[in-house]
Structure 1
Amino acid sequence: MSLQPGRRVARVVVDVPLAHLDRPFDYAVPDKFADIVQAGCRVRVRFRGRLVDGVVWELGDSTDFVGSLQPLSHVPSGEPVLTPQVARLVRTVADRYAGTAGDVLRLALPPRRAAAEKRPSPTPAELPEGPDPAGFARYQAGPALLDALAEGRPARAVWTALPGEDWPARLVELCRAALSGRRGALVVVPDGKDLDRLAAAAGRLLPEHSWTVLRADDSPEKRYRQFLAASRGAAQVVLGTRAAMFGPVRDLGLVVVWDDGDDLHSDEHAPYPHARDVLIQRAWLDNCAAVVAGTSRTAEAALLVESGWAQELGAERAVLRAAAPRVQALGDDFELARDPAARSARLPSLAHEAARRALAAGAPVLVQVPRRGYVPSLACARCRAPARCAHCAGPLGISPRPGPGGARIPACRWCARPAATFDCPHCHGTKLRASVVGESRTAEELARAFPGAAVRTSGSTSGVLATVPGGPVLVVATPGAEPVVEGGYGTALLLDSWALLGRADLRAAEETLRRWMNAATLVRPASAGGQVVVAADAAHPVVQALVRWDPAWLAARELADRRELGFPPATRIASVAGSPEALADFLEALRLPADADVLGPVPEPARRGQESERERYLVRVPRSEGAALAHALTEVQGVRSAKKAPEHVRVQLDPLDLV
């Protein structure tokens, strides 16, 4: 249908959480908004009798709608916050994860702040010269990668950083190379601590105003101002945490994800996208370079190398040996012969002696423990069953803060009710034991073992330390919270390995190695006395990968095992959760590919405040059928939404946790 001459139509994606409405709707652009409305700007429209927010997907001169179009009700701003490139990415991500464009837009666009729009953005910086290739000279094909970025070629690499590498500086050098070729860059890191280090390196190596930071913990006004600096083209490099994966970078030439195995890269909001996969989609859509980087390697990164989509970027073994610390396992044959208790002791003599030598030499010691808190998990002392709250069935634990009189009384970690008495429902035992020891309790034990040394803790309970000064100090940290120390740690002790390796999790092996290597890379090289002691059996493949410093070997092994067993990334799996009745209706309407395999149902793990019974199915298909699976799931969600089904079914594609 043609419009009146001079009138235009705005195709608007409305902010309505209904799957059957996942498409643009046509609205007439009134004359009073004709000079304001642009593709990508925010609008307010009347939809089903009420005013809702929306984004102009595109502008046109005609419509297929038969009848009179509703006009746009209000245009808060003509600022084009949704670029055509990001709009295309939003649609691709929604289709890949069986979600809606509205869900993805809520992740991609920060809330509007009028004051930020009124402030002018800085003038775009002058293009820098290419970076010094010396930083990447230790890596095979490293200088060639910088040349490709400067020339605007879509090079793809899986980069394994050397121990002790100044990785923030290396990532910024990649961005500088892209800038020198008149292309933008986007770098996503797991958390604020990593982002602070990356921003500090950018301040040293990039021209002023050429880069901006997008982080979730900034004030809404500041975050929107930084977002506008990128969307307006003033800042051509965007650094950020997970939400920055949709950053509106102009002339995108490079995307980078650091430490892609960190679960912080997986969004907890529908449609639950993963930053690594989103950036890979951006590289494909925009035909730009991509780098998946880290000290370790995931099975997904191994698949990128195996398929030929990316090339491996690493150092020769001689260079690696010169940079790595000495790694020794407590369970090797020599240590067991010398200390028969090494296999069961929490701090055997080897670890104690290594820490003592480092402290005596004035070097700091890092102690990594896998759990935060004091005693975060308790069990029955007789049958070892997990201790549960009698009121809400939540897990019992002990807080680091003593109660009245200095006593530490077990309490529920969900409802906080104290458990002064305990009666095991399985064996009726009345005594409790610690099943997991946290960083606070470990710090107490080490303070008694090394009475002359200062002890610092870094974790979510005590607060995360970004750095610690050098000197004879014991630093007890949870994985991901290890502070950086100038000159590196003298020794690192990796304790309670059973808590990581013994998890019933598909990613237990690669996640354990990732956490260990992230800690071990902070230790000095072996030539400078650096030593890592891991409390684990030396014959375990994960320990062998750490001792040999060969994460690529373990990632390839994990990929081969998962392919044989039919697990991701060799397959794609959807988790479908809801009440038994809702799931029965959902699966009856689901038209799956011929090769699909439905597993379940199993009870869904209880969540805080959840009262009704919920179950979960897993639907598995070959990787080549992933798009068909996503389409089938989207179709059923749309039908249920249109029929106003009373219960919601939670659909998540490629979940990190399959248990």
Structure 2
Amino acid sequence: MTSESEKPGGRPDEAPEQLALIRETVRRAKAPRARPRTWRGAALAKELPVARVVVDKGVLHLDQFFDYAVPEELDAAARPGVRVRVRFGAGAHQVRGGRREGGRLIDGFLVERCADTDYTGPLAALADVVSPEPVLGPELLGLARAVADRYAGSLADVLQLAVPPRSARAESRPSPEPLPPPPAPEAGPWARYAHGEAFLAALAQGGAPRAVWNALPGPHWADELARAVAATLASGRGALVVVPDGRAAARVDAALTALLGDGRHALLTAEAGPEKRYRQWLAVRRGSVRAVVGTRAAMFAPVRDPGLVAIWDDGDASHSEPHAPQPHARDVLLLRAAHDRCGFLLGSTSCTVEAAQLVESGWARPLVAPRERVRAAAPLVRTVGDGELARDEAARAARLPSLAWQVVRDGLRSGPVLVQVPRRGYVPRLACERCRTPARCRHCAGPLEAPGQRDLRCGWCGRDEPHWRCAECGATRLRAQVVGARRTAEELGRVFPAVPVRTSGRDHVLDAVPGRPALVVSTPGAEPVAEGGYAAALLLDGWALLARPDLRAGEEALRRWIDAASLVRGQDEGGTVVVVAEPTLRPVQALVRWDPVGHAQRELAERAELGFPPVSRMGAVAGRPEAVAEFLAAAELPPEAEVLGPVPLRPAAPGGPRRPGDPPAGEAWDRALVRVPPGTGAALAAALKKAQAARLARGGTLPVRVRMDPPDIG
């Protein structure tokens, strides 16, 4: 399964630069330095009296190590990797000079002990060693440094994501003794894939296979991940699995416990609480546990001697870290696989363009099932187009076409039926009943809403609109453009009064439902697992997902549909899915054929032709117009860089949800995209980082946000 290409890294064409970043940090060159002078007469440690510290201050122009003197009384406790307290500024000096800031005590990590320093003045002394527990090893430090440079961020920001907050009680408890390696597992459901058994065998024998796995629909993916972890543990190495949410983590956790028993893996999720999570993290750091399953933050878990890093459903937005420098779990695991020369597994029932690029470049091999197995495992998919929906009397009355009603009735005879609605709530958006033009406010052009069946009101400015008339055709009647989950549940409950109706969404997400007949109305991503699988599924308002003004709209819609349809019984068991969307569209056709890989390959080819990510790399610069213009003028961009924009950023709706990239309320911001061809992404990140650091060092007051590889380029 291992590719012949040896070009590892977050992007295959930039691997040598990323590997060099890690190796340079881990094996720091030791240049001759002078022994430090005594600071205020304090007695220094007799051996290695200099401590190199990374301070917990995520400012780009201070993104470097600082030298401190080690007092004699802290000599024994001040070991590499421990948390320390230092006085920053007023007597604390940088390794390579620079301005001083503040004189307060701040936290940091001791990176290494040295015999001398290249700073000629007196050094400030370490104020304290917070804990003797070494939490920052050289491998984790090297990974954090590479991630910071890849995303044009600071090392301190990455370390805040990589090392969890300290819990003294957790540190005081000893970790259990490590268990011996388990026997290699049977192939089990991996036998359904063309090279599944060979992949497991390579892991069990100490190999480093790299694969992009298109999982068959159904409930077996968690067991398949567990068997890959067990095969890696059998070789005496560690394994790491990153999943998008706590529900997926619980499924993999249960599968690992059933396969290997207790004590062989750690579960790192936010639901565990700070103390338990830190205790589990320490068990991994100390080598007591060799396998980790967790959500996004687990991508930095300090697994000893990793033999496999795996990510499930890499297209889920939860894998993108919202805090600076906003790394994506997939790219972090790619860096780990390259540096540690371990196995890599990217799995999903769908397929992202980034996954297709890894296969197309030869860095990873495809791991797929034969087409006959795919057809047997996948449900039958039927489509209802928008024109057909408009002519259907049943749809006019209750928004669901006749085909959907028939599928629901048939499905309820043998089990639960899933109904996926793109939005939660009641009636989030309205449109003209005749021409379907969106209903908008006359004052601010915001969307009109009818909360609780009251008079029309603007969702942005809050003004009432009692006498609305369509600006296109003059009609006065409205229809629900996208009906929310609660309204859909009410409509279905009236039509099927004897059938229980359950809802699952952001406010209340169900983990599982029994296999008895019931209607389950869910928003995308919140679908509960049904015992024995759903008998049928309805995917409503497909156009709402496809019409998003985003480069990934088609890919994301297909991923949402396949995730939901994968919970339905296979075609051999009578499982049926009805998608309400235009049948001729490419994502709809990919769903009908159950061919997410082919869809991703075609998307990748088109993006390569147009120079879109992930073939090219992009950096986004956002801020007030004058600040963005000044930043771009000062940045020393690579010669190949192409600046797109700036263009105005659309402000967030008043009172609506805010995304990490939204401008502050009431401010007009611009955004520029900087695009570079393959192989120059690292140079672009370095240029943007240098420009941001220089701007901050000059005391720039206007905020400018820099982000590499923005997920939404609209």
CA deviation vs aligned residue, 1:293-316 (integer Å, no higher than 9, x gap)? 000000000000000000000111
SS at match of 1:312: strand
Shift of 1:241: 0.7
Distance in structure 2 (CA, Å) of the matches to 1:191 and 1:182:
28
Stretch of structure 1 that moved more, 260-269 or 345-354? 345-354
Shift of 1:197: 1.1
The one-letter code of the counterpart of 1:30 is P
Match of 1:35 among 76, 81, 84: 76
SS at match of 1:75: strand
* TM-score, with length taken from structure 1: 0.93
Matched, 1:318 2:372: yes
Corresponding residue number in structure 2 for 1:367 = 419
Distance in structure 2 (CA, Å) of the matches to 1:470 and 1:441:
24
C-alpha distance 232-535 of structure 1, shift in aligned 2 (>3 A):
same
SS at match of 1:59: strand
Matched, 1:58 2:112: yes
The one-letter code of the counterpart of 1:489 is Y
Distance in structure 2 (CA, Å) of the matches to 1:328 and 1:379:
26
Shift of 1:397: 4.2
Shift of 1:650: 0.3
Matched, 1:616 2:674: no
C-alpha distance 412-254 of structure 1, shift in aligned 2 (>3 A):
farther
* Kept in 2: contact 1:103–1:271 (CA 8 A): yes
Matched, 1:492 2:537: yes
Corresponding residue number in structure 2 for 1:6 = 47
SS at match of 2:76: coil
* Kept in 2: contact 1:123–1:209 (CA 8 A): no
Matched, 1:476 2:521: yes
CA deviation vs aligned residue, 1:577-611 (integer Å, no higher than 9, x gap)? 00112112101111111111111111112136512
Shift of 1:51: 0.8
Matched, 1:460 2:521: no
Distance in structure 1 (CA, Å) of the matches to 2:192 and 2:119:
61
Distance in structure 1 (CA, Å) of the matches to 2:396 and 2:687:
51
* Kept in 2: contact 1:331–1:343 (CA 8 A): no
Corresponding residue number in structure 1 for 2:181 = 127
Corresponding residue number in structure 1 for 2:19 = none
Distance in structure 1 (CA, Å) of the matches to 2:469 and 2:671:
28
C-alpha distance 265-344 of structure 1, shift in aligned 2 (>3 A):
farther
Distance in structure 2 (CA, Å) of the matches to 1:288 and 1:398:
55
CA deviation vs aligned residue, 1:60-88 (integer Å, no higher than 9, x gap)? 22221112211111111021111221111
Matched, 1:269 2:323: yes
C-alpha distance 553-246 of structure 1, shift in aligned 2 (>3 A):
same
Stretch of structure 1 that moved more, 423-432 or 463-472? 423-432
Match of 1:560 among 593, 605, 628: 605
C-alpha distance 617-25 of structure 1, shift in aligned 2 (>3 A):
same
Corresponding residue number in structure 2 for 1:593 = 638
Shift of 1:271: 0.7
Corresponding residue number in structure 2 for 1:233 = 287
Stretch of structure 1 that moved more, 119-128 or 263-272? 119-128
Distance in structure 1 (CA, Å) of the matches to 2:224 and 2:353:
23
Distance in structure 1 (CA, Å) of the matches to 2:178 and 2:389:
62
Distance in structure 2 (CA, Å) of the matches to 1:38 and 1:380:
69
Corresponding residue number in structure 1 for 2:406 = 353
SS at match of 1:10: strand
Matched, 1:651 2:697: no
Shift of 1:472: 1.3
Distance in structure 1 (CA, Å) of the matches to 2:393 and 2:676:
48
Corresponding residue number in structure 1 for 2:242 = 188
* Kept in 2: contact 1:458–1:475 (CA 8 A): yes
Corresponding residue number in structure 2 for 1:435 = 481
Shift of 1:643: 0.7
Distance in structure 2 (CA, Å) of the matches to 1:411 and 1:536:
29
The one-letter code of the counterpart of 2:134 is P
C-alpha distance 509-52 of structure 1, shift in aligned 2 (>3 A):
same
Distance in structure 1 (CA, Å) of the matches to 2:585 and 2:475:
35
* Kept in 1: contact 2:618–2:673 (CA 8 A): yes
The one-letter code of the counterpart of 1:564 is E
Matched, 1:99 2:153: yes
The one-letter code of the counterpart of 2:198 is A
The one-letter code of the counterpart of 1:275 is A
C-alpha distance 255-388 of structure 1, shift in aligned 2 (>3 A):
farther
Shift of 1:431: 7.7
Gaps of 5+ in 2: 1-33, 37-43, 90-102, 655-663
C-alpha distance 383-325 of structure 1, shift in aligned 2 (>3 A):
closer
Distance in structure 2 (CA, Å) of the matches to 1:500 and 1:262:
15
Shift of 1:385: 4.8
CA deviation vs aligned residue, 1:310-355 (integer Å, no higher than 9, x gap)? 000011111112211111112499x899969889984111111011
Distance in structure 2 (CA, Å) of the matches to 1:396 and 1:440:
18
Counterparts of 1:564-643 in structure 2, within 5 Å, are: 564-607=609-652, 610-643=665-698
Q: Identical aligned pairs, as a percentage?
A: 55
C-alpha distance 248-338 of structure 1, shift in aligned 2 (>3 A):
same
Match of 1:223 among 250, 262, 277: 277
Distance in structure 1 (CA, Å) of the matches to 2:109 and 2:471:
57
C-alpha distance 380-317 of structure 1, shift in aligned 2 (>3 A):
closer
Distance in structure 2 (CA, Å) of the matches to 1:475 and 1:29:
63
The one-letter code of the counterpart of 2:667 is S
Distance in structure 2 (CA, Å) of the matches to 1:558 and 1:580:
33
**Alignment RMSD, CA only?**
2.7
Match of 1:296 among 327, 346, 350: 350
* Kept in 2: contact 1:492–1:520 (CA 8 A): yes
Distance in structure 1 (CA, Å) of the matches to 2:447 and 2:391:
39
SS at match of 1:217: helix
Shift of 1:410: 5.9
* Kept in 2: contact 1:598–1:617 (CA 8 A): yes
* Kept in 2: contact 1:389–1:419 (CA 8 A): no
Distance in structure 2 (CA, Å) of the matches to 1:318 and 1:432:
46
* Kept in 2: contact 1:190–1:264 (CA 8 A): yes
* Kept in 2: contact 1:409–1:418 (CA 8 A): no
Match of 1:551 among 580, 596, 608: 596
SS at match of 1:260: coil
C-alpha distance 559-125 of structure 1, shift in aligned 2 (>3 A):
same
Shift of 1:134: 2.1
The one-letter code of the counterpart of 1:570 is V
* TM-score, with length taken from structure 2: 0.86
CA deviation vs aligned residue, 1:410-430 (integer Å, no higher than 9, x gap)? 667679x68475779989999
* Kept in 1: contact 2:470–2:476 (CA 8 A): no
CA deviation vs aligned residue, 1:254-312 (integer Å, no higher than 9, x gap)? 11110001111111111111111111111001111110000000000000000000000
C-alpha distance 343-256 of structure 1, shift in aligned 2 (>3 A):
farther
The one-letter code of the counterpart of 2:543 is W
CA deviation vs aligned residue, 1:201-224 (integer Å, no higher than 9, x gap)? 122112422111111233221221
Distance in structure 1 (CA, Å) of the matches to 2:673 and 2:301:
32
C-alpha distance 370-56 of structure 1, shift in aligned 2 (>3 A):
same
SS at match of 1:623: coil
* Kept in 2: contact 1:378–1:396 (CA 8 A): yes
Q: How many residues matched? A: 648
* Kept in 1: contact 2:646–2:672 (CA 8 A): yes
Shift of 1:477: 0.7
Matched, 1:211 2:269: no
Match of 2:254 among 192, 195, 200: 200
Match of 1:70 among 117, 124, 144: 124
Shift of 1:56: 1.5
* Kept in 2: contact 1:185–1:249 (CA 8 A): yes
Shift of 1:164: 1.0
C-alpha distance 103-316 of structure 1, shift in aligned 2 (>3 A):
same
Distance in structure 2 (CA, Å) of the matches to 1:341 and 1:109:
56
